[in-house]
């Protein structure tokens, strides 16, 4: 009887070890990887009216993209105070890698307007970017993700907020479907 109990105890211990080690588990179907991006670009103008959208572009480097070119459309959604507001992508921003693969993101966030002296202003934009449909090449397998972007504009005049330069950076993660 004692030897039978010992065998049962050893069997339970072995089964527990196999569970801890993951034997018998299905392989992971997704891979989460860090994502970092930096760059600079130009917005055609700073949207100053709710619902107004402005084209913007950027060049820079990003994890999994390498050197990229990006194009998007930023929309002012509304004001939350005299110098603060919310914004979002009027259409997904498309990051194009050197080989032509495209990674698309939607974004939404908050913008703050600060005086820079001599009648000029700067804006600080903080947004969460999440993957959007329509990515191509190796990015067709991106199923989830999030990164926080901070962008700072060059000084501009409210009388002529046109062709405003900006720099930006962000970090977070993206998730690739590994398939079966």
Domain ranges of the chain: 28-177
Span 18-62, pLDDT tens digits: 444 444 445 557 899 999 999 999 999 999 999 999 999 999 999
The pTM score is 0.82
User: How far is it, in rounded angstroms, from Cα 121 to Cα 115?
Assistant: 5
d(CA 124, CA 111): 6
Choose which CATH entry (1.25.40, 2.40.128, 2.40.350, 1.20.140) describes domain 28-177.
Answer: 2.40.350
Alpha-carbon gap, residue 149 to 35, rounded angstroms: 11
The pLDDT value given to residue 28:
58
d(CA 57, CA 39): 10
For residue 59, what are the contacts with CB-CB under 8 A and spacing of at least 6? 39, 40, 41, 67, 68, 69, 70
- How many angstroms from the chain centroid is the CA of residue 45? 22
Summarised one tens digit per residue, pLDDT across range 63-91 is 999 999 999 999 999 999 999 999 999 99
Q: What is the mean pLDDT of residues 151-173?
A: 96
Rounded Cα distance, 72 and 166, in Å: 14
């Amino acid at each position: 009887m004692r030897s039978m109990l010992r065998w049962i105890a050893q069997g339970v211990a072995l089964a527990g070890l196999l569970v801890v080690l993951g034997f018998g588990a299905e392989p992971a179907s997704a891979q989460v990887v860090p994502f970092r991006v930096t760059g600079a670009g130009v917005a055609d103008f700073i949207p100053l009216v709710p619902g107004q959208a402005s084209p913007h572009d950027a060049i820079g480097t990003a994890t999994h993209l390498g050197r990229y070119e990006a194009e998007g459309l930023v929309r002012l959604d509304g004001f939350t105070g005299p110098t603060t507001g919310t914004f979002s992508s009027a259409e997904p921003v498309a990051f194009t890698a050197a080989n032509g693969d495209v990674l698309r993101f939607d974004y939404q966030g908050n913008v703050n307007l600060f005086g820079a002296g001599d009648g000029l202003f700067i804006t600080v934009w903080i947004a969460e970017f999440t993957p959007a449909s329509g990515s191509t090449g190796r990015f067709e397998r991106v199923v989830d993700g999030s990164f926080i972007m901070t962008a700072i504009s060059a000084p501009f005049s409210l009388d002529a907020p046109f062709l405003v330069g900006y720099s930006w950076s962000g970090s977070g993660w993206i998730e690739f479907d590994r398939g079966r």
